Amino acid sequence: MKLRLATVEDLPAICVLGRLMHEESTFAPMDYDIDRVKETVSDLMDKSQLVLVAEDTNGEVVGGILGKVTQSWFGNDLVANELGLFIHPDHRGGMLAARLVKTFVRWARMAGAKQIRPGVISGCDLAVGLYERLGFRNCGATFLMEGA
C-alpha cells in the first residue's frame, strides 16, 4: 500500500469511503451529505491540514486519515485531532491502520502539536487496542444521547 497526500481528484473516492465509515459509525442514524464532505475535505486541503490516502497496487484509494491541528480553546498550545480513519473492509487486517496513525502522529509533531488526540466513534474495541499499542492512553469516553 502506498500512502500519499490526497488531491482534489481523490474526492469521489474519499466520499465513497466516507459513506462506508459513516454507516459503520455511531453517526449512522444521521444524514450523509456528499457536498458537505467535499467541502470539509477541500477545506482541510486548502488549509494544509492532513488528508492522507492509501492506495492499493492498482492505484485505487482504499483508506485514509483526516487530521487537523488547531489552537486549543483555552490557551495557545496546538492540539492535533484525528477527524476520521477508515479502511475499506476488503483491505483490513494488515498494518495499514497502524501506518496511517503513525503518519498522522509524525505530521502532528512536525506541525507543533503539544497533544495528539485521535478518537474512536465506531464502538470497535480493535480500534481502541490499536491506539493503545501505538502508545496512546485512553483518557476519557464519548457519550451519545439522541436529540430531536
Specify if 144 maps to a domain. no
By residue range, what is the domain housing residue 124?
A: 2-133
* Confidence band for 146, pLDDT divided at 50, 70 and 90: confident
Specify if 128 maps to a domain. yes
Query: What is 6-42 written as a DSSP string?
Result: --GGGHHHHHHHHHHHHHHSTTTTS---HHHHHHHHH
Q: Which amino acid is at 145?
A: M
Specify if 140 maps to a domain. no
Q: Check residue 123 and give its pLDDT.
A: 61
Is 144 buried (19+), middle (13-18) or exposed (0-12) by CB count in 10 A? exposed
| Three-class SS state of 136 | coil
Specify if 58 maps to a domain. yes
144 has pLDDT over 80:
no
Average pLDDT, the chain: 91
Q: Check residue 125 and give its pLDDT.
A: 63
Specify if 57 maps to a domain. yes
Specify if 98 maps to a domain. yes
Q: How far apart are CA 41 and CA 47, in angstroms?
A: 10
The grid cell for 98 is 497502524
* Confidence band for 140, pLDDT divided at 50, 70 and 90: confident
Residue with cell 491541528: 69
pLDDT in tens, 100-130: 999 999 999 999 999 999 887 766 666 778 8
3, 123, 12, 140: which is closest to 67 by C-alpha?
Answer: 3
Specify if 147 maps to a domain. no
Number of domains composing the chain = 1
Specify if 145 maps to a domain. no
- Give the CATH number for residue 62: 3.40.630.30
Q: How far apart are CA 79 and CA 59, in angstroms?
A: 32
pLDDT in tens, 34-85: 999 999 999 999 898 999 999 999 999 999 999 999 999 999 999 999 999 9
